């Protein structure tokens, strides 16, 4: 078996193989290589400079059975026997479901999560989006402090467990997207600087020195992170990757790393015959993120749209602190802009930032599915002081209004696990750092962050307390508090899949609203989504003239009316209208649908 490692700064390198040290030969470009007999499960690592120096795990380890600081184990990704053929599932027309393996079930494993995927497929979900699964210290955590970008967290089930989960998803007709972190590694267990210039002080991020994407030695660093991304897509038959916080990838080279990565992913899709895609998390509101490479863009296939979330959150909750302030001045106008233009901040002044921010998308040329829309995410819940979900914060009835715009709106919809049944369990920030000093620093930092906003230290959940993770686990399914909410989500997803053609441009959506009366109607494709956000006033909203419309779904009974009179919506209610006719399962004009009432 061939062993190789990039260690350009090392004077000598040994392979540690089940207790035996074997010297490696130095090749060009800082690579060290040797051949040795080994099979699946064989433990190995590398020793740098001095033969009695500590054993370090392989930076490209595919399995770390003893955690990120222990030796690696030989594994063969090609050895897994796939049960279900899979031709892939693209992003256009997708309904995403963000899932954290460690809290989706109390067991917190891939196998336990796999056992519940059938319910998601029945709901109409098309892709599960797994939060990061690379190894991190301890057993439980969010996953964004991973330190081994090629491996899989062993407490979840390791690489074979991930393969079983993906296989089960494919068997249920679900694609799988994986959240990956290229902008930093965790504060504990990161051995990469011992091997080479993986990080640079030329740039800094909120986590410290930036990943070296543009300095000396950056060719290999870029190949390291791109290679890990391609390996997950190829070896685990994933459909896509979500790239964490790409705005923190400091990169001054003429060919940006992200453009290089997107080209490599497109080439892999061509070779495998499966549609593959990359979804960015970016706060830049920069159209170049999703613009084609031939138009000097990065070529990523979609990005999260926090502006839509912020506008919707303000409309549902009335919160106006922090970055919500810009959206709270005229909530209906802000929501309308994100539904039709994508970005709210598209070059104008952003008070929260104290400067102009963003740039306008080309509405006619940008397919709406290239923006991902959501009412909740792990960030927007877990970074609140108490991790309170929307159903707990605003009530399931108001949350149902958000679901109508997310699931029947123009953007690619995404739900956060449990949202579909109105889960009220919090999702809080939790860690399992093994270093006591680091654990205390995280605990104190969390308390200090929220103390600045008026929270008492004793009210902030201790990230290291196992009870914090326990509180964050979903309850399945007998303890569901609002089964009618599940029916509402199922109905909305069914309408979307039956009636909304994928690939429509942002320009195809139009919105009318009344800021004072707090109602909004969205028209795109054959659908009209009408929402009355007012807690105490009914609203009569205009209905597009022309073709007759049927009432496809509503949170509350809607009085019979006609296009001339408009649609009469009770307070805090939503309705979805579509073409009348002989579609199977479609109610006649203005009939009350069979879907359950939410709220």
Identify the domain containing residue 179 by its residue range.
96-487
| 200 domain residue, yes or no | yes
Residue 27 to residue 187: CA distance in whole angstroms = 31
State the catalytic residue, choosing from 214, 239, 244, 432. 244
pLDDT digits (tens, 9 = 90+) for 454-483: 888 888 999 999 999 999 999 886 545 678
User: What average pLDDT score do residues 372-383 get?
Assistant: 97
Q: Grade residue 452 by pLDDT with cuts at 50, 70 and 90.
A: confident
Residues pairing with 31 in the sheet: 6
The per-residue pLDDT for range 95-133, each reduced to its tens digit, is 999 999 999 999 999 999 999 999 999 999 999 999 999
Q: Would residue 235 show up in a list of annotated catalytic residues for this protein?
A: no
Its sign, for the CA torsion 281, 282, 286, 289, is negative
**180: which strand partners?**
243
Task: For residues 400 and 420, give the distance between their C-alpha atoms in angstroms, rounded to a whole number.
Answer: 9
| 319 has catalytic annotation | no
| Region 538-563 average pLDDT | 85
Contact call for residues 196 and 7 (beta carbons, < 8 A): yes
Asked whether residue 212 is domain-assigned, the answer is yes
Q: Given phi > 0 = left and psi -120 to 50 = alpha, else beta, which region is 181?
A: beta
Going by the DSSP 8-state scheme, the letter that residue 64 receives in this structure is: -
What average pLDDT score do residues 200-218 get?
Answer: 95
Report whether pLDDT(563) > 90: no
Contact call for residues 508 and 521 (beta carbons, < 8 A) = no
Positive or negative torsion for Cα 30, 35, 36, 37: positive
- Which range (427-441, 498-512, 521-535, 581-595) has the least confidence? 581-595
Bigger pLDDT: 575 or 451? Answer: 575
pLDDT of residue 590: 33
With beta carbons less than 8 A apart as the criterion, state whether 277 and 301 touch: yes
Give the residue, 580 or 455, on which the prediction is more confident: 455
Nearest alpha-carbon partner for 539 in 556, 525, 524: 556
Residues 166 and 129 sit within 8 Å (Cβ to Cβ)? no
Residue 584 is predicted with a pLDDT of: 37
The answer to whether residue 24 sits within a structural domain is no
Does residue 524 form part of some domain?
no
- Asked if the structure places residue 534 within a domain, the reply is no
Which whole number is the average pLDDT over 279-308? 97
Tell me which residue of 503, 543, 536, 504 sits closest to 517, measured CA to CA: 536
Q: How many domains does the chain have?
A: 1
Q: What is the mean pLDDT of residues 327-346?
A: 98
Is the pLDDT at 558 greater than 90? The verdict is: no
CB 532 within 8 A of CB 573: yes
Active-site choice (179, 214, 281, 326)? 281
pLDDT category, 561, cuts 50, 70, 90?
A: low
SS3 221: helix
Residue 450 maps to a domain: yes
| Chain centre to alpha carbon of residue 16 | 38
The CATH code of the domain that includes 365 is: 3.20.20.80
DSSP-assigned states of every residue in 227-264: HHHHHHHHHTT-SEEEETTGGG----SSS-HHHHHHHH
For the cut 90, the answer to whether the pLDDT of residue 548 exceeds it is no
Q: CA-CA distances (angstroms) from residue 339 to 57, 342, 350, 415, 505?
A: 47, 6, 19, 17, 11
Q: According to the model, what pLDDT value does residue 458 have? A: 85
pLDDT of residue 244: 98
Q: What is the pLDDT of residues 388-430, one digit of tens each?
A: 999 999 999 999 999 999 999 999 999 999 999 999 999 999 9
Give the Å distances, CA to CA, from 177 to 23, 246, 278.
40, 17, 9
The 10s digit of each residue's pLDDT in 210-263 is: 999 999 999 999 999 999 999 999 999 999 999 999 999 999 999 999 999 999
Contact call for residues 541 and 569 (beta carbons, < 8 A): yes
Over range 535-553, report the average pLDDT.
Answer: 90
Q: Would 581 be classed as within a structural domain?
A: no
| pLDDT band per the 50, 70, 90 thresholds, residue 382 | very high
CA distance between the termini of the chain: 61
pTM of this prediction? 0.95
State yes or no: pLDDT of 585 exceeds 50.
no
pLDDT, mean over the chain: 93
pLDDT tens per residue across span 40-74: 999 999 999 999 999 999 999 999 999 999 999 99
Cα 359 from chain centroid (whole Å): 23
Residue 591's pLDDT band, with cuts at 50, 70 and 90, is very low
Which of 592, 417, 398, 571 lies closest to 491 in space, CA to CA? 592
Alpha helices in 482-538, H assignment, sequence order: 483-499
Answer whether residue 530 is part of any domain.
no
Percent of the chain having pLDDT more than 70?
A: 95
């Amino acid at each position: 078996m061939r062993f190789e490692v990039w260690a350009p700064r090392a004077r000598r390198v040994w392979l540690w193989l089940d207790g035996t040290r074997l010297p490696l030969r130095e090749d060009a470009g800082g690579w060290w290589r040797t051949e040795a007999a080994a099979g699946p499960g064989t433990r190995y690592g590398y020793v740098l400079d001095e033969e009695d120096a500590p054993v370090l795990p392989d930076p490209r380890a595919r399995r770390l059975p003893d955690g990120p600081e222990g030796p690696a184990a030989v594994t063969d990704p090609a050895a897994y026997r796939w049960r279900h053929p899979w031709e892939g599932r693209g992003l256009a027309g997708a309904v995403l479901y963000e899932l954290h393996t460690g809290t989706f079930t109390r067991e917190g494993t891939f196998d336990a999560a796999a056992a519940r995927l059938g319910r998601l497929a029945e709901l109409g979900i098309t892709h599960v989006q797994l939060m990061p699964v690379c190894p991190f210290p301890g057993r439980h955590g969010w996953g964004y402090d991973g330190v081994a970008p090629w491996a899989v967290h062993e407490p979840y089930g390791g690489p074979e467990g991930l393969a079983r989960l993906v296989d089960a998803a494919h068997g249920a007709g679900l694609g799988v997207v994986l959240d990956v972190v290229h902008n930093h590694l965790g504060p504990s267990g990161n051995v990469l600087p011992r091997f080479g210039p993986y990080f640079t002080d030329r740039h800094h991020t909120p986590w410290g020195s930036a990943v070296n994407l543009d300095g000396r030695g950056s060719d290999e660093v870029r190949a390291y992170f791109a290679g890990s991304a391609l390996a997950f897509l190829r070896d685990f038959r994933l459909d896509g990757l979500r790239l964490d916080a790409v705005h923190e990838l400091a990169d001054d080279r003429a060919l940006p790393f992200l453009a290089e990565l997107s080209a490599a992913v497109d080439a892999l899709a061509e070779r495998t015959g499966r549609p593959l895609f990359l979804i960015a998390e970016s706060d830049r509101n920069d159209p170049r993120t999703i613009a084609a490479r031939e138009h000097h863009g990065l070529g990523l296939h979609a990005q999260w749209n926090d502006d839509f979330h912020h506008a919707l959150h303000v409309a549902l909750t009335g919160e106006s602190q922090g970055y919500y302030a810009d959206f709270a001045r005229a909530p209906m106008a802000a929501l309308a802009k994100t539904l039709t233009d994508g970005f709210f901040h598209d070059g104008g002044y952003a008070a929260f930032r104290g400067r102009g921010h963003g740039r306008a998308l080309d509405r006619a040329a940008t397919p709406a599915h290239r923006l991902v829309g959501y009412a909740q995410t792990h960030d927007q819940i877990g970074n609140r002081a108490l991790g309170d979900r929307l159903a707990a914060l605003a009530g399931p009835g108001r949350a149902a209004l958000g679901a109508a715009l997310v699931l029947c709106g123009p953007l690619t919809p995404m739900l956060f696990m449990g949202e579909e049944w109105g889960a009220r369990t919090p999702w809080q920030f939790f860690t399992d750092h093994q270093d006591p000093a680091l654990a205390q620093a995280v605990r104190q930092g969390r308390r200090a962050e929220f103390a600045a906003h008026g929270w008492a230290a004793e009210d902030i959940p201790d990230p290291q307390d196992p009870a914090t993770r326990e509180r964050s686990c979903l309850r399945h399914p007998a303890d569901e508090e609002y089964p009618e909410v599940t029916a509402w989500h199922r109905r909305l997803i069914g309408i979307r899949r039956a009636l909304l053609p994928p690939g429509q441009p942002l320009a195809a959506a139009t919105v009318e609203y009344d800021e004072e009366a707090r109602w909004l109607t969205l028209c795109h494709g054959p659908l009209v989504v009408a929402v009355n956000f007012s807690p105490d006033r009914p609203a009569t909203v205009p209905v597009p003239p022309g073709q007759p419309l049927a009432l496809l779904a509503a949170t509350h009974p809607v009085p019979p009316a006609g296009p001339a009179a408009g649609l009469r919506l009770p307070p805090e209610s939503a309705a979805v209208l579509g073409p009348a006719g002989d579609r199977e399962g479609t109610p006649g004009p203005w009939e009350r649908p069979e879907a359950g009432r939410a709220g």
